[in-house]
Amino acid sequence: MSKILVTKSSMPLYEEYCKEIKELWDSHWLTNMGIKHQQLEKMLEEYFGIEHVMLYTNGHLALENAIAALNLPKGGEVITTPFTFASTTHAIVRNGLVPVFCDIKEFDYTIDTDKIEDLITDNTVAIVPVHVYGNICDVEEIDRIANKYGLKVVYDAAHAFAVKYKGKSSASFGDASMFSFHATKVFNTIEGGCVCFQNPEWEMLLYNMKNFGIQGTESVQYVGGNAKMNEFQAAMGICNMRHLSEEIDKRKAVVERYRSRLEGVEGIKLSVVQENVESNYAYFPVVFDGYKYTRNEVFEKLAETGIGARKYFYPLTNSFECYRNYPTAGVEKTPIAQHMALRVLTLPLYADLELKDVDKICDVILEER
């Protein structure tokens, strides 16, 4: 029995990638911001329609550095969401900051902007909202709140590559936006990520952070780390950028088939289609709420037939063992997020998923007891 995985990495033809990396054998320049790195950075700046993109070896270090670049006071509070991957909360804490968890909206799973202001204190220094499953946060309201209280905003946009809101790239909001180019994402560089930012002064700052603080051959003026994207990663990104539109179109066809089969079924809730948003069709979350099978039962039924699904996001980050002693943690403070985390399942979604396999997945979900 062939298995259907929850995701499958998009890759160019083997021959295309080999052609892209051939010159690396001539130059022997494999890392340290080489030709491929520079080329991909320019491609992304043009694609996003922004001036400043900094590439990283992975999305987590990109987010960590973006938050660090804000130079926030240690112990400051950062309002964020627990309905996210571990990286978001870890990046805040590893910067010496305190995460304050805000609940989410039940229809698109993004941070509930109606609840942010109630969480703001004299210690609040920033907001780290998360675009979820390709759904965009209420960027206009977040901008209003940030301006009112003098807060910085860094978006975790790991799920939002190629998404546009009112014609603007998701890369253009806040003080900075982080994208993940992990192998499972709509666009990948095997591993990788980037920070998109507005302030030109961040160019050298972020460069120093990701390159040990080295300036020239004999000067180290900043305590930096090592988060450089290598040439093989960048080459994969260059290849995948050529096929991005086609990949998204294929994902769209999969999502439309899922919706045609599952929309309107009692006890099954699908994510809303957001107005003024050009989607990337990154994920297909399904909430089983009052359905004849629980989320866990559906998960097991799919697994028994060789179909992978993911409880994504579960558990919430504010329930992690490493945060249980934080006074701001606790799932009881974010009841909607907890409700969704106990009921959500992301179904298989990738460009090469055949529609007959989508039907097979839906048949398993919809079959009678």
The tens digit of pLDDT for each residue in 190-238 reads: 999 999 999 999 999 999 999 999 988 889 988 999 999 999 999 999 9
Class of domain 244-366: alpha beta
Q: Residue 90 pLDDT more than 70?
A: yes
For the chain, what's the residue count?
369
Residue from 176, 66, 77 nearest 125 by CA: 77
Residue type at 48? F
- DSSP line for 10-42: ----HHHHHHHHHHHHHH---SSS-HHHHHHHH
* Residues 154, 88: Cα–Cα separation, whole Å: 11
The tens digit of pLDDT for each residue in 295-330 reads: 999 999 999 999 999 999 999 999 999 999 999 999
Q: Residue 141 pLDDT more than 60?
A: yes
The CA R_g of the chain, rounded to the nearest whole Å, is 21
* Residues 149, 272: Cα–Cα separation, whole Å: 30
Note the pTM of the prediction, 2 decimals: 0.97
Where is average pLDDT lowest: 94-108, 212-226, 268-282? Answer: 212-226
Packing angle between helix 295-304 and helix 355-366, nearest 10 degrees? 130
Task: Give the pLDDT score at 215.
Answer: 85
Q: Residue 1 pLDDT more than 60?
A: no
Intervals of CATH 3.40.640.10 along the chain: 14-242
- DSSP line for 103-116: PB-TTT-SB-GGGT
* Residues 135, 35: Cα–Cα separation, whole Å: 34
The tens digit of pLDDT for each residue in 50-72 reads: 999 999 999 999 999 999 999 99
CA angle, corner 317, sides to 292 and 361, nearest 5? Answer: 35
- Confidence class for position 2, pLDDT limits 50, 70, 90: confident
Q: Going by C-beta distance under 8 Å and a sequence separation of 6 or more, which residues neighbour residue 279?
A: 134, 163, 252, 273
Task: Give the pLDDT score at 217.
Answer: 83
Intervals of CATH 3.90.1150.10 along the chain: 244-366
Q: Is 196 exposed, middle or buried (0-12, 13-18, 19+ CB in 10 A)?
A: buried
Would you identify the CATH topology of the domain 14-242?
A: Aspartate Aminotransferase; domain 2 (3.40.640)
* Residues 53, 68: Cα–Cα separation, whole Å: 16
**pLDDT, mean over the chain:** 97
Which residues is 4 bridged to in the sheet?
307
Task: Give the pLDDT score at 222.
Answer: 85
